[in-house]
Amino acid sequence: MTQAGFAPVVDGESRVLILGSFPSVMSRKEGFYYGNPQNRFWRMLSAFFGRPLPRSVAEKEALLHAEGIALWDMVAVCEVEGSADASIRDERVVDLQEVLRAPIRAILCNGSKAYELLKAHFPSLLGMTEKLPSTSPANPRYEERLWHEALRRALADDAFFTMPKKS
């Protein structure tokens, strides 16, 4: 069955774009990103910013907006069985230009699938992109420290990421 992803969470203050692949079954049921309570994403983000763990969609959106984080998935529409990235077929990727109107200076990919799709469809953005281990509960190689280090670099005043030149 064809499934559609979510709209981006972004505003004029967003400095870092975090890209996932496609919402899990639990996220689709909740209607928002990283809806599986076992996914480490919201715990990692709230720990990094020293904020309480957001529970509701409104609290999650408020955290993102307050800290300059944009959030989206690479896949807009696809055929998918369950939640595994490996089951994604016939995908249509999003148009990142919509989000890049914000002052985004770094892109952090939540897992390999998001990174591979970005690399295939938007190679000019690789200079400002970092691939990080998936926060999925299915990923045994997750390290919160790597996420915190990447966020620290991406949010630094002298962030080493630069937007590609428009041609």
Q: For the chain, what is the radius of gyration of the CA atoms?
A: 15
DSSP 38-55: T-SHHHHHHHHHT-PPP-
Q: Beta-strand (E) ranges in 37-158?
A: 69-73, 75-79, 89-93, 106-110, 129-132
With left for phi above 0 and alpha for psi between -120 and 50, is residue 82 left, alpha or beta? left
Residue 111, Ramachandran bin (φ over 0: left; ψ between -120 and 50: alpha; else beta): left
Locus of tokens 């190689």: 141
- Which of the residues 36, 39, 110, 139 is marked catalytic? 39
- 3-class DSSP state of 61: helix
Rounded to an integer, what distance in angstroms lies between the CA atom of residue 160 and that of residue 153? 7
Measured over the CA atoms of residue 66, residue 48, residue 102 and residue 153, the dihedral's sign is positive
Residue 39 falls in the annotated catalytic set:
yes
> Active-site residues: which are they?
39
